[in-house]
């Protein structure tokens, strides 16, 4: 079974404050041009997206420079909705992260720098959240300086808690991109 983890992209897609608005306008119509095509205008970090190191790290890898292996792998969801404030280290298990993609079901909470440092020290492949942001600038810097991609604005994580699955969130190959919208999915094991 495949679970869609991506927000629809459209002019009503929720945006991080200050980000560019989404504009989707017809370019060609079948009736007029014999084919249909739209023009898209949006920021790289619109909707469900991935942050590359270059988003916060001067000289960091851009989205087209990260190996594709960073965007696919064994994953699990940590449900931390019951806590308050930033997600603290004592709220998450103390092992089982190496080489995994860890997705946080937060209900709007952000990770603390201590959690970000722990995830890097444990060797996570990537992290993700249902929130518009995984955390503040410090959290982003900790993760991205270790070449740990950050997926944000994921949906449907609640149906994945306690399940084994493969996560896929390939970005567009944007030259010099600080991030990219993704079509994130979970493929559940039988």
Report the 10 Å Cβ neighbour count for 112.
19
How high is the pLDDT of residue 151?
A: 98
Whether the full predicted model's pTM is greater than 0.85, yes or no, is yes
pLDDT band of residue 3 (cuts 50, 70, 90) is very high
Q: Could you say which of 3.50.30.50, 3.50.50.60, 3.40.640.10, 2.40.128.120 is the CATH number of the domain covering 2-8+44-188?
A: 3.50.30.50
pLDDT digits (tens, 9 = 90+) for 129-180: 999 999 999 999 999 999 999 999 999 999 999 999 999 999 999 999 999 9
pLDDT at 117 over 80: yes
The answer to whether 146 touches 52, Cβ cutoff 8 Å, is no
Nearest Cα neighbor of 5 from 140, 104, 111, 116 is 104
pLDDT of residue 190 exceeding 80: no
Q: What pLDDT does 189 receive?
A: 82
For residue 155, give both structure tokens. 């949906």
Three-point CA angle 9, 4, 22, nearest 5°? 10
For 5-48, where are the E strands, in sequence order? 23-28, 37-41
Q: In 59-92, which positions are buried (b, 16+ CB within 10 angstroms) versus exposed (e)?
A: ebbbbeebeeebbbbebbbbbbeeeeebbeeebb
Contact 27, 39 (CB under 8 A): yes
Q: Where do runs of H (alpha helix) occur along the chain? A: 30-33, 113-121, 137-145
| CA 153/CA 19 separation, integer angstroms | 14
List the structure tokens of 154.
């994921």
pLDDT in tens, 118-127: 999 999 999 9
């Amino acid at each position: 079974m495949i679970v869609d983890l991506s927000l629809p992209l459209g002019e009503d897609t929720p945006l991080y404050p200050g980000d560019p608005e989404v504009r989707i306008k017809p370019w060609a119509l079948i009736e007029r041009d014999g084919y249909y095509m739209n023009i898209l205008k949006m920021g790289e970090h619109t909707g469900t997206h991935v942050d590359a190191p270059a988003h916060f790290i001067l000289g960091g890898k851009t989205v087209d420079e990260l190996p594709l292996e960073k965007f696919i792998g064994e994953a699990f969801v940590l449900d931390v909705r019951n806590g308050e404030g930033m997600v603290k280290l004592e709220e998450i298990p103390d092992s089982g992260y190496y080489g995994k993609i860890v997705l946080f079901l937060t209900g709007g909470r952000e990770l603390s720098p201590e959690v970000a440092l722990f995830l890097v020290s444990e060797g996570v492949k990537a992290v993700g959240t249902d929130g518009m942001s995984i955390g503040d600038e410090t959290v982003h810097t900790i993760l991205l300086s270790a070449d740990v991609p950050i997926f944000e604005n994921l949906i449907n994580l609640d149906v994945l808690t306690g399940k084994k699955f493969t996560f896929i969130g390939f970005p567009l190959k944007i030259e010099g991109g600080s991030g990219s919208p993704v079509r994130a999915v979970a493929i559940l094991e039988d």
